[in-house]
Amino acid sequence: MGITPFSRIGAQNAPAAGINPDYTLQIGNGLIELSPEHIVSTTLYNGQFPGPLLRFKEGRRVTVDIRNDTDTPELVHWHGQMIPSEVDGAAEEGTPFVPAHGTRRVSFVPKPAGFRFYHTHVIAGGDLSRGTYSGQAGPVYIDPKNDPGTYDREVFLVMKEFEPTFSRGGDMAMDFLAGDPVHELERLAHDSNERAKDKTKGYEVGYERFSINGKMLGFGEPVRVKQGERVLFHILNASAGEIRSLALPGHVFRVLSLDGNPVPTPADVPVLWLGTAERISAIVHMSHPGVWIMGDLDDGDRGHGMGIVVEYAGHRGKPQWVKPAQFRWNYAVFGRTNAQPPPSPDEIFEMTVEKNNAALGGFNQWTLNGEAFSMQTMKPLFTVHEGRRYRLKFRNASDDIHPLHLHRHTFELTRFAGRSTSGVLKDVVMLGGFQELEFDFVADNPGPTLLHCHQQLHMDFGFMALLRYG
Ligand SMILES: [Cu+2]
């Protein structure tokens, strides 16, 4: 489109230490042509959406120059990587901002291998042009030392909504997650709602346009396949707050990795569900020739663009959609099957999530154990010690799903949908409405560490916690 000058995407891997960066990311305003009728103006990386795919090699240091051509300070967060706080990309952890109209060079050793991503980590608050409401997201693939399995080729899909607006209240698909509501948590929420019953509902964010790889359904290049091929999809939900689903009629997904980490039990599922910032790597065996819509189960969102056409060689015609049968998403399906319990933790922290309806000038306020995170005091919620194993027990006294994200560490899911599990390693996990879950992590990466809900609207209004190493 020639509106925004492209910066150099230097992919040269020459170790010209200290002089040339391996990559340059330019942050600036630009246009995304979702379709000829819907061209969105927002903040982008290198003038494109998604931002360029950055391919790193596990263990090989990379240098990235970040140039901020906007009028406000920015942060680039390297989601899912075990790197120092100074480069992780969260102000709360002490990462310096990339100044407005300034540059910052970051250098780190990428790890672990697998599908990661990068995105802005600034607070948007009530400004829907900022933070993850913008187009600042792009995939990272850290090439592993060993091959993930047999496949013919890889396809990266980035799911993303545009044109956000506020409304009072909103809907969220709830019935897809395994597990049952906990009555005590429902009672807690009921009491809180009673206290706020004179208020109207707090603001929620909705979207006008939906896209995969920056194109509305039918306007991008189809995924062109041949019968018999095995296609490895790397799917990222880069939304600011939506839960996404994906199905391909007549096909199943063999899930190999969750959040880039290989699962103990690869399994076939008819539908993928991804909370905000979750990633799934899955192989589809192309065994059902035709022209299909690979799309979100929500008819409205798919109708407004959330899908991509999959076209078999030699087949033409209107892409077909078939609604899949009801299917409940349960991470434990991919866990260890031998029921071997995970090691017991050195300490357990219990955290209850509550919502204060419309408490902050019309916005809902979120609290953990009764406290909303304060950007002023930056008070840590708890202290961990290097080498110890911790169990976080979350209790959700709200009807919203919260995609919980731990920075700079990988956690192991130990309880989900009322059952023990082990072996599923992640950095984001969906906590269902009125449900509980537990995960363990080993404190193996000293430095201030952020734990938060990955819904921009929730993290900006209290749902954040800082862990400090003692
Ligand atoms: Cu949340």
Q: In whole angstroms, give the CA distance from residue 137 to residue 227.
A: 32
pLDDT of amino acid 200: 78
Q: How far apart are CA 262 and CA 58, in angstroms?
A: 15
Q: What is the mean pLDDT of residues 53-71?
A: 96
Q: How far, in Å, is the centroid of ligand 1 from the Cα of 173? A: 14
- pLDDT for the residue numbered 190: 86
Which residues are near ligand 1, the ion (C-beta closer than 5 Å)?
A: 402, 453, 455, 458
- pLDDT mean over 157-173: 88
Distance 464 CA to ligand 1 centre (A): 9
205-234 pLDDT per residue, tens: 999 999 999 999 999 999 999 999 999 999
Residue 125 Cα, ligand 1 centroid: separation in angstroms? 14
pLDDT higher than 50, residue 50: yes
Kindly give the distance from the C-alpha atom of residue 434 to the centroid of ligand 1, in angstroms, as a whole number: 12
Q: Give the pLDDT score at 364.
A: 95
For the segment 121-143, what is each residue's pLDDT rounded down to a tens digit? 999 999 999 999 999 999 999 99
Count CA within 13 A, CB hemisphere, residue 306: 27
CA 164–ligand 1 middle distance (angstroms): 17
pLDDT band (50, 70, 90) for residue 4: very low
Is the pLDDT confidence value at 146 over 70?
A: no
Q: Which two tokens stand for residue 180?
A: 């049952």
Predicted TM-score (pTM) of the model is 0.94
Place 7 in a pLDDT band, splitting at 50, 70 and 90: very low
Q: Which pLDDT tens digit goes with each residue over 226-280?
A: 999 999 999 999 999 999 999 999 999 999 999 999 999 999 999 999 999 999 9
Q: At CA 295, angle to CA 289 and CA 299, rounded to 5?
A: 125
Q: Is 22 exposed, middle or buried (0-12, 13-18, 19+ CB in 10 A)?
A: buried
Dist. CA 402 → ligand 1 center (Å): 4
User: Separation of 432 CA from ligand 1 center, angstroms?
Assistant: 10
CB 87 within 8 A of CB 95: yes
pLDDT at 198 over 80: no
Residue 369 alpha carbon to ligand 1 centre in Å: 14
Q: What is the mean predicted confidence (pLDDT) over 329-335?
A: 97
pLDDT of residue 19: 78
Determine the distance separating the centroid of ligand 1 and the alpha carbon of 431, expressed in angstroms: 9
- Give the residue carrying structure tokens 């990311």: 25
Residue keyed to tokens 């989900």: 416
The pair of three-digit structure tokens given for residue 446, joined into one six-digit string: 């000293």
User: What confidence score (pLDDT) does residue 93 get?
Assistant: 97
- How many angstroms does the Cα of residue 234 sit away from the middle of ligand 1? 24
403 Cα to the center of ligand 1, angstroms: 6
Sheet strands side by side (includes 203-212): 203-212, 153-168, 230-237, 279-285, 253-258, 261-269
Whole-number Å distance, alpha carbon 457 to ligand 1 midpoint, is: 8
In what order do the strands lie in the sheet containing 76-79? 54-57, 137-143, 114-120, 76-79
- What spacing in Å lies between the alpha carbon of 445 and ligand 1's midpoint? 25
Distance from the alpha carbon of residue 454 to the mean position of ligand 1, in angstroms: 6
Under the banding of pLDDT at 50, 70 and 90, the label for residue 16 is very low
CA of 84 to the centre of ligand 1 (A): 25
How far is 362 from 203, CA to CA, in rounded Å?
6
Residue with tokens 């993290």: 459
Question: In the predicted model, what is the mean pLDDT of the chain?
Answer: 93
Q: Ligand 1 centre from 436 Cα, in Å?
A: 14
Which of left, alpha, beta for 317 (phi over 0: left; psi -120 to 50: alpha)? left
